[in-house]
Every structure is written in C-alpha cells, then in structure tokens.
Amino acid sequence: MQIDITALITSPGFDPWDLSNSRANLGQDAGAITWDNCLALNSTTLDTEEKCDAFRDFVRDSGGWTQDEILIWPDAHLNALFAQWVAGDIREGLGDDLPDDPAEWPWEEYEEKAERGSVSSNLSHDGGNVHFYLGC
C-alpha cells in the first residue's frame, strides 16, 4: 500500500533529525527525545483502519515486535512510529539540509541508491506528492 506522506513531511514540526537520530548525536536519551518528538507531532497520516493494518503488517515483518505487542498499540502510537520510520528513511536515503519543497529533494540520487540496495526503497514521488510504500 502506498501512503501519501506529503502532508506529514511538510507539516510544522516534521524535521527528520528531530524525529529519528542517534545517541552519537543526541546523547543517552536519544530514543526518548525522538519518540517524544514523534508523539508531539500528533500525526494522523494513518487515518483509516486499512492504513493502520498495513503499517502493523509492515512493522511485524521488521521483526522488532510481536503480533501481540503490535495489536495493542493505539493509533497515536502507530502514527508516531510511522513518522519516525519515514524520518529515518528520509535521513538515510536523502540526507540532511533538504529544501523545504520535497519536489526539490535529490530524488534521482535517492533512486540510484535504492536501485543499488544501499538504502530502503520505501519512498517515492510523483512530482507533486511523496509516498511511502508499506509492503514486503
């Protein structure tokens, strides 16, 4: 399933470095800091049960959580984790210091890296909108 993330990534407060970062950059509390920032976004990108279920499947396939854990997450938790995942993929694949307009991001470089398998290939754009692929 393709999720349109344009509104998410252009919303006030969406800064990939604030939402997904490391202890090397933020210190011992990096996990808590980035998680709190993701929750504070109050994202509702996953706004249907179909989208929430697709993300649950995506997360389960990552191996990081059990089915029982995933099933009890509230929608706010799902949306925060989704925002964090998107932020991490943006950081990994597109770098930092990106222009405000996603149409100006280095998509050609990203696509080359994704085709080589050196970054995830979950992100895509169609000139006007940016999407995140939730699939296997």
Average pLDDT score over the chain: 94
pLDDT digits (tens, 9 = 90+) for 20-72: 999 999 999 999 999 999 999 999 999 999 999 999 999 998 888 999 999 99
Question: Residues with Cβ < 8 Å from 102, sequence gap 6 or more?
Answer: 6, 9, 10, 125, 130
H or E element that contains 125: strand 123-125
Residue 136 has pLDDT above 70, yes or no: no
pLDDT digits (tens, 9 = 90+) for 56-114: 999 998 888 999 999 999 999 999 999 999 999 999 999 888 888 999 999 999 999 99
How many structural domains is the chain composed of?
1
Asked if residues 130 and 102 have their Cβ atoms less than 8 Å apart, the reply is: yes
Domain extent at residue 72: 2-133
